[in-house]
Amino acid sequence: MAYAALRSLAQILHQTLNRDHQYLILDEKQQIESLVEKVSSIQDFLENSSQKIKQHLERKIRDASYIAEDIIESHITDRIRSESARFDLITGCLWKCRTIALNPADPDKMVRISIIINARGKQGMPDIPTGYYGNAFTYPAAVSKA
């Protein structure tokens, strides 16, 4: 059970380094790389230790792994929320729901979402010339695999 928890933690750490690197500062990246090495060492230790030692440490290792996962996921979620607009988060949720509903046969298929918005009276927008209504349409600036 502890080994599975460590594998899950290692997977979260690798995903964080590979996918969420734009949200990490250098010090955080170095800390995560250090954690990856430590998790790997603990996995090796569990594979090569006696059954008596495994039974004693397994629960502690499993619990620590789950706590570490929760902390990492919470930290990244907080970072994303602080740097993302509400519109970005809602659009991401809509994209995810749409992708699930489409249920593409090919998981590598690119799935897009387009949003039409009312840009009238928005802060930072220039006054809209006479004859225009203020609706805006944009093609997706980002696409992702299903």
What is the model's pTM? 0.45
Q: SS3 string of the chain?
A: CHHHHHHHHHHHHHHHHHHCHHHCCHHHHHHHHHHHHHHHHHHHHHHHCCHHHHHHHHHHHHHHHHHHHHHHHHHHHHHHHHHCCHHHHHHHHHHHHHHHHHCCCCCCCEECCCCEEECCCCCCCCCCCCCCCCEEECCCCCCEEC
- Model pLDDT, residue 46: 79
d(CA 103, CA 97) in angstroms, rounded, equals: 10
- Model pLDDT, residue 134: 63
- Model pLDDT, residue 61: 82
pLDDT tens for 88-98 read 778 888 888 88
Residue tagged 């997706």 (tokens): 140
Per-residue confidence in pLDDT tens, the chain, 146 aa: 677 778 888 888 877 777 655 556 666 777 778 888 888 888 888 788 777 777 777 778 888 888 888 888 887 777 767 766 777 778 888 888 888 888 888 878 888 887 776 666 666 666 767 777 666 666 656 667 76
